[in-house]
Amino acid sequence: MRDYRRFYRQRSIGPLIILFSLFALPLALTIRSGVWEEGSFTLRRIVSAVTDSYTRRILLFTLKQALYSTVASLVIGLPGAYILATYSFPGKKLIKALATIPFVLPSILVVLGFVIFFGNNGTLNTVLMSVFDLSDPPLKILYSFGAIILAHTFYNFPIIMSIVATAWEGLDTKLEAAAATLGSSPRKVFRTITLPRLIPSMISAAVLVFLFCFNSFAIILVLGGGPQFTTLEVEIYRQARMMGDPSGASALAIVSMVINGILFLGYALSQRTLTVAETVADRAFEERKPSSIRAFFIVLYSIFTILFLLGPIVSVLYRSFLKTASRSGKPTFSITWYRKLLGLEHASSHMSSALAALVNSTLIGVAVSVLTVTLALLLSVSIVRRKKSSSALELFGMLPMITSSVIIGLGYVLIARILRPSLLGTYLLITLAHTVIAFPFALRTILPKVRSLSETYLHASYTLGSSPRKTFRMIEIPLLRKTLLTAMVFAFALSLGEFNATLILSNSQIVTLPVVMYRLIGSYHFQGACALGSILIITSGLAFFLGEVAKGDSV
């Protein structure tokens, strides 16, 4: 057993050293750049960042848009949580499945979907103009504050709906039954018994959504439409890349990290008070059939959810097969954008770099998936098999989740300024940055499956004389094969769609799918962007499908 414990202790050394180098070192360089000037420690840049009127306006807007987005997500998500937790109706599984769409979509794809669906010449305006015989588009919301809130709501209201619905479904309803027996009205029962027990889950979900919206980058960068709607993340990118001032960007990054730390602490505290779900057997009431009037509102909400979630995605897929001979010409079905993507037809503008971007993204994604899953597997088995320090190891593995990908990219920009890497070295830095971003998700995929493995197999193998190394290779890895494949596909999909860190780190010589999509959107070449976006949709869908299959196999 000493050999057994020593073996798993040693498995954690490599991942910890590598992760510390990949995450802590860039973060330390970012902090040093913000507080180190002319060879001495100083808070001048941070104080200047906090007291400067321009920076204060950016910070206030960042908090404002995050607050508005969170409120909007609550307004749309809470009715859905009530419907899913309380009623049984046809299409309920479909609504639950659709609610997972934003979780697996890259942010740049969400931006593209909103431009295609809500744009002046988008799907929604085209339908409304045709139905009501209008000459001008009735909805003009893109590149505005409203567009930012709408996109954030699309991205985050399923989080509210899922977290609150799960807590609601787990409530022991015997208290409600007792109150109803004593004569309390349903409204009073909800207000005095049900709602107080749901508030912790609402707070937890709201803090998480606020954290995501605070760190939003691609949505603000594209849909904001200008300096008026700049946030901290966008300003960090602007100062680091456009103004060539990584020290000023680092000072802003420190401010952002402090606020992120406070928000994450609030989320952790809300998780501690989150209502613990009871077993379904303890529920006094089962899901009930809705009345006629409630069924009407459920249908309306379901239609809204389907259109709101599926509309942008379907529009991207549909638009990728359209071609117009001129700006005013009638669109016709064509696969020309995919042919140009594959280099089978001559492509102009940014579309000419699409094939190179596809190759780059694929190679980087494969490297990221292999490196990420290898590190996550070694750390997972070490966390589970060794008893001491397992919680600390798990917490360390999750640390990249509390740092925005823009700040991670900034850290690698500072490394690049020191090393001045070649083209191949820049590819390596992008791969390592993607690995840091994808690692917590791979760990969360692999760790539960490792915990569920029975140690009986391992003990039997040791009894028969196998070494810990051979047991790990011949027993544990085969049992984890499907989970490892799922984690690899997730890591590949995350790398393929990663935009924030890539944009701040890459140069004109290195392009990836999201970067080319961003350039195509900026040059109003939407059909080509939709062809690239369709590839991301298929990849993300495959990752989700394999994840669900793995969950089903582990039940």
Q: Classify domain 353-555 by CATH number.
A: 1.10.3720.10
Q: How many CB atoms lie within 10 A of CB 49?
A: 26
Give percent of the chain with pLDDT exceeding 70.
Answer: 89
pLDDT above 60 (res 155): yes
- Predicted pLDDT at 553: 57
Looking at every residue in the chain, the average pLDDT score rounds to 84
Confidence of residue 244 (pLDDT cuts 50, 70, 90): confident
**The domain defined by 47-319 carries CATH number 1.10.3720.10:** yes
Q: Is the dihedral of CA 171, 156, 102, 378 positive or negative?
A: negative
More confident residue, 2 or 226: 226
54-109 pLDDT, tens digit each:
999 999 999 999 999 999 999 999 999 999 988 888 888 888 888 877 777 888 99
**33-60 tens-digit pLDDT:** 999 887 788 888 898 888 889 999 999 9
Confidence of residue 166 (pLDDT cuts 50, 70, 90): confident
Mean pLDDT of 197-221: 91
Cβ neighbours, 10 Å, residue 174: 13
Residue tagged 């690239």 (tokens): 532
Confidence (pLDDT) at 329: 66
* Through-space distance between the first and last CA atoms of the chain, rounded to whole angstroms: 30
Contacts of 15 (CB under 8 A, 6+ apart): 375, 376, 378, 379, 382
Residue 3 has a pLDDT of 57
pLDDT at 391: 74
Residue 31 pLDDT level (bands cut at 50, 70, 90): very high
* Average of per-residue pLDDT across 146-174: 88
- The pLDDT of residue 281 is 42
pLDDT, mean of residues 10-38: 86
For residues 115-128, average pLDDT:
89
What is the band of 482 on the pLDDT scale with cuts at 50, 70, 90?
A: confident
Q: Which residues pair with 322 in a beta bridge?
A: 333
361-391 confidence digits (pLDDT tens): 999 999 999 999 999 998 888 888 766 666 7
Per-residue pLDDT at 532 exceeds 70: yes
Label residue 412 by pLDDT band (50, 70, 90): very high
Give bridge partners of residue 332 from the DSSP assignment. 323
551 φ, ψ (degrees, to nearest 5): -60, -40
Considering only CA atoms, which of 408, 293, 329, 349 is closest in space to residue 528? 349
Q: What is the pLDDT of residues 273-294, one digit of tens each?
A: 654 444 444 554 455 677 788 8
Query: Residue 555 pLDDT > 50, yes or no?
Result: no
Query: Structure tokens of 81?
Result: 């949580």
What residues does CATH 1.10.3720.10 cover in the chain? 47-319, 353-555
Does residue 110 contact residue 517 with C-beta atoms inside 8 Å? no
Return d(Cα 119, Cα 115) in angstroms, integer: 5
The values of phi and psi at residue 492, to 5°, are: -65, -45
The answer for residues whose C-beta is within 8 angstroms of residue 378's C-beta and 6 or more apart is 11, 12, 14, 15
